């Protein structure tokens, strides 16, 4: 008697797991930038927007500017005039103010002397941009006044004994807040220190906040006027060096890819329930800078050998994107070739991976190099200068 044949069902093949994308470090701009509108400077006449730091994109037909023989002398002279005029405007404005709640307004807040070095000298630095200047001083003054008011509930003698502690706490907390909000401005910590240790500034109390805002706006206005008159671009950016138009395009593309994946899953699995994916319309009026870059990781033409063991940052975000890895050549020589030449080529390939490449739309760095906020903004300023028609 023949035994019945047992049918073995084919076991389904396990689905390959998708590679886990590394999460980028905390960046407050990842939450704020999607809601930041485009700067309206492009609507103004070029002669007006020039003094607000706006520059037309560089074109291939435009000739690079000729560096004058006395270029450095002109820069030094503009630094002198800018620093003198900027501080003089603040001092005369403070002298013209009436007493605030019976307290005489100081001739100037000393921390703005240090701020003048950034606003008229190192104007390309991220620390000198309007966001850092205004919010850095405001946050530091707000924190220092609040903490000092808390310690003032102590007896006066005890408060004087702990004044050193108040100053240290104010600067430490202000430094953390500026780091989290990407508004680091070193002179602002001096504002926090003065508000807690200098009696002349401490007695102003909450009046220090409008004074700090007034001084910051006066310095910003004079810096825009005098630096651009001297042919120096300031500010390089108002809120962030990230291309907000490209950021929205990249997010729109990611949502399109997710929708396509859902459609593929639906076609392969009829029981799958469809999920609605909302699409956003991208318009130039809703973004900071115009861009036609599309997928920024594909638009820049870079030597493929440079992409081995590297990651790239687009002009849209700080999320690292691993580049395609190059097949590493072994040290085994080809037929008829010496080992020395093969080893030399391997070393050259390693050196190509240990470099930083900056284009108009992309930054390529070695995969082992983790960029912090400061380094990222410096590289993005160089990227912006590549697009600048007057760089």
**Tell me, what DSSP letter sits at residue 100?**
B
Q: Report pTM.
A: 0.70
Alpha-carbon distance 142 to 208, whole Å? Answer: 8
Is pLDDT at 56 greater than 70 in this prediction?
yes
- Residue at token pair 């001096």: 190
How far apart (Å, rounded) are the C-alpha atoms in residues 317 and 329?
33
| Higher pLDDT, residue 284 or 135 | 135
Q: Sorting pLDDT into bands at 50, 70 and 90, what band is 329?
A: very low
pLDDT on residue 302: 45
* Segment 102-119 mean pLDDT: 93
Alpha helices in the chain (DSSP H): 29-32, 46-49, 71-95, 111-120, 130-151, 156-161, 163-180, 186-197, 199-202, 208-229, 244-268, 296-299, 339-353, 373-387
Token pair listed for 208: 């220090």
Model confidence at 298, pLDDT cuts 50, 70, 90, reads: very low
61-105 per-position pLDDT tens digit: 556 666 677 878 888 999 999 999 999 999 999 999 999 888 889
311 prior amide bond cis, ω within 30: no
Q: Tell me if residue 364 falls in helix, strand or coil.
A: strand
Of residues 254 and 93, the one with the higher pLDDT is: 93
Residue 389: band (very low, low, confident or very high) from pLDDT cuts 50, 70, 90? low
DSSP secondary structure letters along 116-130:
HHHHHTSTTSGGGSH
Of the chain, the end-to-end C-alpha distance in Å amounts to: 93
What is the pLDDT of the chain when averaged over all its residues? 78
Give the chain's radius of gyration (CA, Å). 28
Q: Is the pLDDT of residue 202 over 80?
A: yes
The pLDDT of residue 142 is: 97
The angle that helices 208-229 and 71-95 make with each other, rounded to 10 degrees, is: 150
pLDDT in the model for residue 181? 94
pLDDT at 249 over 60: yes
Portion of the chain with pLDDT greater than 90, in percent:
39
Q: What is the DSSP string of 136-195?
A: HHHHHHHHHHHHHHHHTTS-HHHHHHTHHHHHHHHHHHHHHHHHHTT---HHHHHHHHHH
pLDDT for the residue 361: 76
Mean local confidence (pLDDT), 150-174 = 94
Distances from the Cα of 233 to the Cαs of 52, 56, 120, 124, 146, in angstroms?
Answer: 9, 12, 11, 8, 37
Query: What is the structure's pLDDT at 174?
Result: 97
Confirm if 53 and 234 have CB atoms less than 8 A apart.
Answer: yes
pLDDT of residue 95: 94
Do the beta carbons of residue 247 and residue 34 sit within 8 Å?
Answer: yes
Distance CA 153, CA 187 (A): 28
Count other Cβ atoms within 10 Å, centred on residue 291: 23
What is each CA distance from 35 to 165, 170, 244, 287, 384, in whole angstroms?
39, 31, 10, 9, 21
Exposure of 84 in the CB half-sphere (CA atoms within 13 A): 6
Of these ranges, 224-233, 260-269, 289-298, the one predicted with the greatest mean pLDDT is: 224-233
> Three-state SS for 39?
coil
What per-residue confidence (pLDDT) applies to 307?
45
Mean pLDDT of 242-254: 76
The rounded distance, in Å, linking the Cα atoms of 104 and 252 is 55
Does residue 264 contact residue 15 with C-beta atoms inside 8 Å?
no
Query: Residues 352-366: pLDDT tens digits?
Result: 567 888 887 788 888
181 vs 338 pLDDT, higher one: 181
Span 266-295, average pLDDT: 47
For 58-72, what is each residue's pLDDT tens digit?
666 556 666 677 878
Question: Domain coordinates of the chain in residue numbers?
Answer: 71-229, 244-271+280-286, 296-387
Segment 240-266 mean pLDDT = 75
Q: Of 291 and 50, which is predicted with more confidence?
A: 50
């Amino acid at each position: 008697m023949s035994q019945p044949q047992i049918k073995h069902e084919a076991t389904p093949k396990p689905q390959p797991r998708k590679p886990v994308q590394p999460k980028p470090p905390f960046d407050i701009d990842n939450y704020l930038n999607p809601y930041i509108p485009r700067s309206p400077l492009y609507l103004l006449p070029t002669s007006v927007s020039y003094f607000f730091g706006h520059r037309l994109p560089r074109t291939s037909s435009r000739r690079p500017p000729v560096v004058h023989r006395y270029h450095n002398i002109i820069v030094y002279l503009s630094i002198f005039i800018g620093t003198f005029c900027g501080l003089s405007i603040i001092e005369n404005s403070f002298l013209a103010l009436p007493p605030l709640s019976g307290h005489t307004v100081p001739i100037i807040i000393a921390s703005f002397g240090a701020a003048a070095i950034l606003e008229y000298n190192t104007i390309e630095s991220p620390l000198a941009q309007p966001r850092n200047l205004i919010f850095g001083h405001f946050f530091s003054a707000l924190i220092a006044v609040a903490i000092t008011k808390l310690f003032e509930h102590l007896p006066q003698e005890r408060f004087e004994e702990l004044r050193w502690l108040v100053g240290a706490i104010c600067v430490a907390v202000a430094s953390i807040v500026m780091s989290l909000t990407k508004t680091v401005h070193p002179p602002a910590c001096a504002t926090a220190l003065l508000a807690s240790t200098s009696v002349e500034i401490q007695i102003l109390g909450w009046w220090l906040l409008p004074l700090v805002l007034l001084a910051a706006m006066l310095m910003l206005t004079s810096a825009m006027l005098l630096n651009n008159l001297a042919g120096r671009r300031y500010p390089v950016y108002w809120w962030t060096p990230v291309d907000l138009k490209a950021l929205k395009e990249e997010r729109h593309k990611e949502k399109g890819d997710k929708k396509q994946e859902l459609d593929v899953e639906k076609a392969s699995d009829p029981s799958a329930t469809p999920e609605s994916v909302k699409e956003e319309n991208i318009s130039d009026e809703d973004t900071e800078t115009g861009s036609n870059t599309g997928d920024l990781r594909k638009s820049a033409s870079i030597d493929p050998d440079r992409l081995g063991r590297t990651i790239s940052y687009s002009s849209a975000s700080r999320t690292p994107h691993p580049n395609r890895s190059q097949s590493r050549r072994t040290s085994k020589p080809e037929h008829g070739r010496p080992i020395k030449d093969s080893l030399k080529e391997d070393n050259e390939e390693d050196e190509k991976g240990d470099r930083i490449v900056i284009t108009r739309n992309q930054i390529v760095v070695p995969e082992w190099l983790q960029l912090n906020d400061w380094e990222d903004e410096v590289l993005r300023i160089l990227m912006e200068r590549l697009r600048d028609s007057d760089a």
